[in-house]
Chains A and B, each alone.
Chain A
């Protein structure tokens, strides 16, 4: 009854995700500085979009220039189809590809491991947007506004508050914290689960760690899915 061939091939393309060994994530700990990161358990995500809406409001992002997206799609299961809801956003990577091309040095990484944009020096040229393999920087097509990207809600997280998307996460899918703090919930969660990142082979080392992602997830496909098409 169900024709599997016409299925959206975001899963099962033959490519498999590479498990990120916990040791690799938690290596090179320097307890004196922070190394902020986020875990997203996709099995817990209910697709409520509270995170996207809260982020847009907290960070005043212009319409359509959202810093996070919940990409949803259907995928074959044993007898029928199931859903995947995969929140995506900037990984505030270990080795970002978006910093170096900035002609005015407006984007960089801070001491807590957050890749930021300095709005006072950004000239809205949008070059960085083209250099993110994740499409995580939302560009302004008219090159008038600075790009928008997740900076782990820098104003909140540097004052001890949780980022907007994390405190709004109805499914408790998101966990935020400091990888350099061994007793933090994020470190404990990473230790106790199989975690993946998107586009591991790019070597950027994004710090959005996924739990519950089927190994057959085609991360390239997921990242280019239209997140507005799932209106259910």
Chain B
């Protein structure tokens, strides 16, 4: 039989297939014996288990092992069960951990033996017990043995960023980095030893910036606590730098900080809500697409699916781009919104709710904890508390208190609706909700006061519905329908968001979502806005002291960061201006006072501006700030490239990325499946953590003692060479009085896991069989001798289940279980003590509507002409893309490129068509090129582009030369458009700048103006 050339798929674009139209079906009659399975499943994996259909018994396939880990396909930290081939020590496939809520939504109890748990994943019961990883977590199967992974120690062999490297020994790198010298034939480079000068000021004459130890700038990953905490302990507590930057501040922290203000004071954390799916009846997803991005794609995806099909759940997805969430044939609806206009949308809902009295008055009027208890409420609110609204009063903006009006207790006061009298808020069942009047204080003076809710209502009603409709592009009719639906589903309703609405008022957006959920009483309510229960953080455990170093530093000892995350009023600049009788405001640069978000991007901006100082050394561990933080200008990048401005830079990672590509040295690091892990799970309602240990031998090069090189190895060795505190022999204090060593990765991991495990209340007993089936037996080998018997049992129990997942009833009455009652803040008094460093004005106690504006208060439109830049920009995270998933083969296969998505009508108006090659240009003049795709699933007048593409300078998409050998970039990894570098800066700031959220100083990227022009 001749082979014939086959052309069916030739000339057909990737992703489509040819369909035969002539084929005719005839009744099939079986004629042959079945071939052996091995002839059919030729390239398939051998299954991990075999279930005997007759006996029902299950056995493990010889030559394969299972191991638990935690997923790092994204930041959600789901659990994993991993199949490993014994002979090759290679990962075969990755799947979810059936004990972990993030994989299953309905996990198996911890006391179920491991074999039984695995068995329950097979056959018909396997449907119900499915424990999944999403597409990107699954694709991570390839990550350990990726062909472009970095496993050797590299030193640049050309200019920074040229992509030329040589491999050197670990010991050589260590010596050069610590001792310096003429390392690149470009003149003397200061080593770490020379840089860490505790006796010198970082910024001479400005003591608030601490010592010159701050000249070391480090960026790191913010997830996987055992490793993150190790890194931070080295940098902060041992070395003494405050410049330890991470992603949160350019990844939407402003919204989470804003949301938190509805429940706590500033500096008391960040909050993140999702609907309580099991009972939710209505939800508004604002700029977030559950099941596609944000919290666990597994548990939230599954619960979304349940809700769509079973619960009569109604939901709107308010998003510039139609993503997969609002499925046809379900209760979902997509409401297109202009990018960057989430705040006016929320204000519109709020206004309508006030106009129509669609608020939960009974809940809101509850002024204290005992009244809440009496009413069966979890929380009370300060809606009825009176606020001094008298500009001439010294306490303007603060609560009117008992002391102001001659009451004995100094609590906030309310008007008692029964008597109409001013009363201690702690003593009544209800407070009057809307108060706007003059009261007489104990000295007989009149004070203008308003209730918190009256202030909020006035702000919401300051603008007309038409104004909000115009700003958002959503009709008044639709706004009314959403407000009605949201409020009429009562407490089983919530509005949630994710990082995709990071505009210059993202803080206000987040705050408003918190307040809207308060207005309907849905925080922690059955069916309402749900929150994580947290995890047992090993650094805070008591078996080993891991979060402090004797003879080391505390965070408060070492000054403020170069990005000015502190109070401007404590600064030398402020004091000097006052002393010289100059007005102190505006400050020269933004100050991020209400939350130190560890803004890596702003730290780089300070460096580029050499104000307050430039860094002398840079350590980049598992972070990619130049790719992820939008709007870092070419000048900032150059300040990192120029060895005169930045003497030494070291990347520590398992892949090259856009940032480490600019480094002098690369220290290879563990990939996610090779590390110890124990971290909170994003979106989990169970208290606990997913955990794991290396499932295969690390692929990184070894040091001269035969130990694998990794971040921990490297920092320990630096500490030992420089005799930094907290490392080495007897470096760590144990609870039983011993001093234990910190010499290896395994030392630290053992202590961390012991701390975490000993905090767990209901650990299972790990049987011998559990230990084998779960891979924990193998995982314990390097750890067990470092632990006491009691700790050993606890750590083994944790590893035998791939983490700890505390089972407890989901609800307590009408509320989610395990959450403390609080005073929900309609008015946040504490935030009014902060002053904006440009305007000199106090922060408002309620969110204020102010369309997007720059740091000096100018509106964006004043600088970005609508004629020249007619489109609004938005970005989002596509389903398969996350920082590391970029480098997985199957990611490139199923998510080959991104598009510049535009509404068909908008494209027509601009003379563009689907398939055009286009250029996006921002008002800063930076641009990015991509392919246009048009349909109706994009709001008009805007574009939406996914992040996670255009990696031409990292993850194997880059060309590199190692030891003289040229390695061409893999073109499938470099496809698509990278948008962040194109995004604009703030023209009203001096020097290099980022466009920031006005209130928190986190990066803003959403809703900015751009133009799109045709290239071909």
Contact = CB atoms under 8 A, between A and B. Distances in A.
B286 to A, nearest CB: 16
A142 B4 CA distance: 9
Interface residues of A, number: 126
Nearest to A82: B328
B904 interface: yes
Contacts of B333: 77-80, 82
Nearest to A84: B328
A154 B309 contact: no
Interface string B1-16: 1111111111001111
Contacts of A230: 324
Given A116-B35, A135-B19, A43 B130 contact: no
Given A155-B44, A161-B47, A57 B890 contact: yes
Contacts of B139: 53, 57
B957 to A, nearest CB: 16
Nearest to A171: B305
A56 to B, nearest CB: 6
Contacts of B936: 2-4, 6-7, 74, 76, 81
Given A43-B327, A52-B135, A162 B6 contact: no
A82 B326 contact: yes
Given A116-B35, A228-B15, A53 B890 contact: yes
A123 interface: yes
Given A1-B940, A160-B123, A110 B19 contact: no
Contact of B946 (A4, A176, A228, A232): A232
B140 to A, nearest CB: 10
B579 interface: no
A175 B128 CA distance: 10
Contacts of B14: 64, 226, 228
B905 interface: yes
Interface string A67-105: 001001011111111111100000001111111100111
B16 A48 contact: no
Given A57-B138, A138-B17, A232-B946, A81 B904 contact: no
Nearest to B297: A48
A231 B302 contact: no
A47 B15 contact: no
B47 A159 contact: yes
B15 A226 contact: yes
Interface in A32-74: 41-50, 52-54, 56-61, 63-64, 66, 69, 72, 74
B40 interface: yes
A170 B132 contact: yes
Scoring B4, B40, B946 by chain A CB atoms within 10 A of each residue's CB, the highest score goes to B40
Scoring B26, B41, B141 by chain A CB atoms within 10 A of each residue's CB, the highest score goes to B41
Scoring B45, B899, B901 by chain A CB atoms within 10 A of each residue's CB, the highest score goes to B45
B130 A167 contact: yes
Contacts of A83: 322-328, 334, 937
A149 to B, nearest CB: 11
Interface string B288-312: 0101100001100110111011000
B1 A103 contact: yes
Contacts of A119: 39-40, 42-43
Interface string B309-344: 100000000000111111111101111100000000
A161 B5 contact: no
B23 A172 contact: no
Interface string B53-81: 10000100000000000000000000000
A172 B130 contact: yes
Contacts of A61: 43
A97 B880 CA distance: 35
A227 B25 contact: no
B133 interface: yes
Scoring A77, A121, A155, A202 by chain B CB atoms within 10 A of each residue's CB, the highest score goes to A155
A13 interface: no
A96 to B, nearest CB: 6
Interface string A123-162: 1111101111111001111110010000101111011111
A139 B16 CA distance: 12
B328 A50 contact: no
Interface residues of B, number: 116
B132 A134 contact: no
A125 B5 CA distance: 7
B20 interface: yes
A220 B18 CA distance: 11
A24 interface: no
Contact of A82 (B2, B24, B334): B334
B793 interface: no
Contacts of B329: 42-43, 82, 84, 212-214
B297 A170 contact: yes
B134 A223 contact: no
Given A47-B324, A79-B478, A159 B132 contact: no
B305 A60 contact: no
B27 interface: yes
A156 B47 contact: yes
A22 interface: no
Contact of B292 (A7, A46, A225): A46
B981 interface: no
Contact of A185 (B15, B127, B933): B127
Interface string B111-132: 0000000000111101100101
Contacts of A191: none
B334 A81 contact: yes
A121 to B, nearest CB: 8
Contacts of A125: 1-4, 6
Contacts of B630: none
Contacts of A52: 135, 894
B32 to A, nearest CB: 5
Contact of B124 (A7, A111, A177): A177
B305 A46 contact: yes
B876 interface: yes
B23 A170 contact: no
B222 interface: no
A172 B16 CA distance: 26
Contacts of A226: 13-16
Nearest to A188: B124
A108 B323 CA distance: 40
A73 B936 CA distance: 10
A96 B9 CA distance: 21
Contacts of A223: 17, 19
Contact of A155 (B7, B41, B130, B141): B41
A175 B135 contact: no
Given A95-B28, A141-B10, A232-B321, A160 B53 contact: yes
B15 A229 contact: yes
Given A83-B324, A231-B895, A170 B16 contact: no
Contacts of A98: 23
12 contacts: A49-B135, A77-B328, A84-B327, A95-B27, A119-B39, A123-B1, A123-B3, A159-B47, A160-B52, A175-B127, A226-B14, A229-B933
Interface of A: 1-4, 6-8, 11, 41-50, 52-54, 56-61, 63-64, 66, 69, 72, 74-85, 93-100, 103-105, 108-111, 116-121, 123-127, 129-135, 138-143, 146, 151, 153-156, 158-162, 164, 166-173, 175-177, 184-185, 202-205, 212-214, 220, 223-232
Interface of B: 1-10, 13-21, 23-28, 30-32, 34-35, 37, 39-53, 58, 92-93, 95, 121-124, 126-127, 130, 132-139, 141, 289, 291-292, 297-298, 301-302, 304-306, 308-309, 321-330, 332-336, 478, 876, 878-880, 889-890, 893-899, 901, 904-905, 933, 935-937, 940, 946
Given A100-B26, A121-B35, 20 more contacts: A43-B308, A44-B309, A50-B135, A56-B893, A57-B138, A58-B93, A64-B893, A82-B326, A82-B327, A83-B334, A97-B25, A111-B30, A126-B6, A155-B41, A156-B47, A161-B48, A166-B127, A202-B25, A231-B897, A232-B321
